[in-house]
Amino acid sequence: MKRIYFFLITFMLCTVGFAQQALWGNSPIVSPDIHEDNTVTFRINAPKADKVQITGDFLPTQKIKTQRGEYDAPGAADLIKNDKGIWEYTTKNPLSPELYSYSFIVDDMRTMDPANVYMIRDVATVTNVFLIGGGRADLYKVNKVAHGNVSKVWYNSPTLGIDRRMTVYTPAGYEVGNKKYPVFYLLHGMGGDEDAWSELGRSAQILDNLIAQGKAKPMILVMTNGNASQEAAPGESSLGFKSPSMQLPKTMDGSFEESFPDVVNYIDKNYRTIKSKQGRAIAGLSMGGYHSLHISKQYPDMFNYVGLFSAAIMPNNNVKSAIYENFDEKIKTQFNKKPALYWIAIGNKDFLYKANKDYRDYLDKNGYKYTYYESEDGHIWKNWRIYLTEFVPMLFQ
């Protein structure tokens, strides 16, 4: 057989067609361009635009006024056209190590950065992301360490009567041998799903790195979907590519808490786990913290480690569920059984700060032991990644 080679060039002409198509004739645009001193330049080719802005969580927040009051939104900054006609913005100062999100606003239209293929969906919004390494943010990177595997796993929930999807991280080395592992159940916030912690939460990277550094015990990490009406994350269920909704039924009405033993039973049946309270932790952010609180008090023999990350605390007065009845009594039972760790973390600007303060006062008044961690800032992913890096090393020690 004769060797023929016209493959590469023709192939590249074909596939770049969609991307280029007479749009960017010249050299490709680099954006974000992270400089050595950790200042960052963003660029976009919008030749006919009158005004281009960037909005991102690395910019100072701005106050937005609505009919319901004032709140903080990510700031915005203007790009200016450089001598090649490309719009450009460079951060005034070096950025601290962190995973950042941003979008462009071109003539009042929000758009992704066409030069950056990395985007993460959070609830119903997609933003571009980039990472400034160093310090704690090195835990968010894929480093050259042994990696655990991340699986999208379908289980049947008899309580909810549907097949449901979750994300399961098994630590490096799980496949080899017969060792039994502890399990950490990690729950997302309102509007989130089983993809949230492994995407913006960087949970697999954080676990890989902490385990590789000997700072955390190898453990299985189970990231559930806390919206009890959903089979799976948007786009991954029989609803197809339907627009994601923030207002889902059966999120904070006791349904998910009630069905949680279905998850634990599945994991204990299908993975080599330590099948006892000593080998189980549960934590979650925001609504997931609320779920963790109510699940752990409902099943006081299930979890030895509990983490409330910027948690909602109490249900709506209108909600009727056996899960939320006899609160005082159930909490008393839970704390009488002395969980190894009951950890409450929140940012000093979080809108749930007062609710958490009230809850801590309640625990203090009753002499229930917990550990408290307070950070800067509000109800944001930066904090939840920090809390995860702080919480995981305390588990199963």
Question: With CB under 8 A as the contact rule, which of the stretches 1-9, 253-261, 334-342, 383-391 interacts with a copy of itself?
Answer: 1-9
Taking CB under 8 A as the rule, does residue 235 contact a copy of itself? yes
Q: How far apart are CA 57 and CA 61, in angstroms?
A: 8
Please return the burial class of 308, using the count of CB atoms within 10 Å of its CB with bins 0-12, 13-18 and 19+: buried
The pair of three-digit structure tokens given for residue 327, joined into one six-digit string: 């609160």
DSSP H or E run through 67: none
* The binder of a copy of itself chosen from 26, 66, 178, 397 (CB under 8 A): 66
Pattern 142-181, a copy of itself, x by CB under 8 A? xxx-xxxxxxxxx--------x-x------x--x------
User: How many CB atoms neighbour CB 324 within 10 A?
Assistant: 19
Total residue length of the chain:
397
CB of 397 to a copy of itself, least distance (A): 26
* The binder of a copy of itself chosen from 301, 325, 358, 376 (CB under 8 A): 358
Taking CB under 8 A as the rule, does residue 183 contact a copy of itself? no
* The binder of a copy of itself chosen from 328, 336, 367, 397 (CB under 8 A): 328
CB of 338 to a copy of itself, least distance (A): 20
Taking CB under 8 A as the rule, does residue 224 contact a copy of itself? no
Q: ∠ at Cα 155 (126, 201), nearest 5°? A: 30
Q: How far apart are CA 367 and CA 359, in angstroms?
A: 12
Spatial CB neighbours of 346, under 8 Å, sequence gap ≥ 6? 309, 310, 311, 352, 353, 356, 374, 375, 383
Residue found under tokens 């993809």 = 195
When the beta carbons of 36 and 117 are compared against a copy of itself, the nearer one is: 117
Taking CB under 8 A as the rule, does residue 336 contact a copy of itself? no
Among positions 244-303, residues that touch a copy of itself (CB under 8 A) are 244, 246, 252, 270, 286, 290
* The binder of a copy of itself chosen from 54, 58, 74, 389 (CB under 8 A): 74
Taking CB under 8 A as the rule, does residue 243 contact a copy of itself? yes
H helices then E strands: how many in the chain?
A: 7, 20
When the beta carbons of 92 and 144 are compared against a copy of itself, the nearer one is: 144
When the beta carbons of 68 and 92 are compared against a copy of itself, the nearer one is: 68
Contact yes or no for 223/199 (Cβ under 8 A): no
How big is the site for a copy of itself, counted in residues (CB under 8 A)?
122
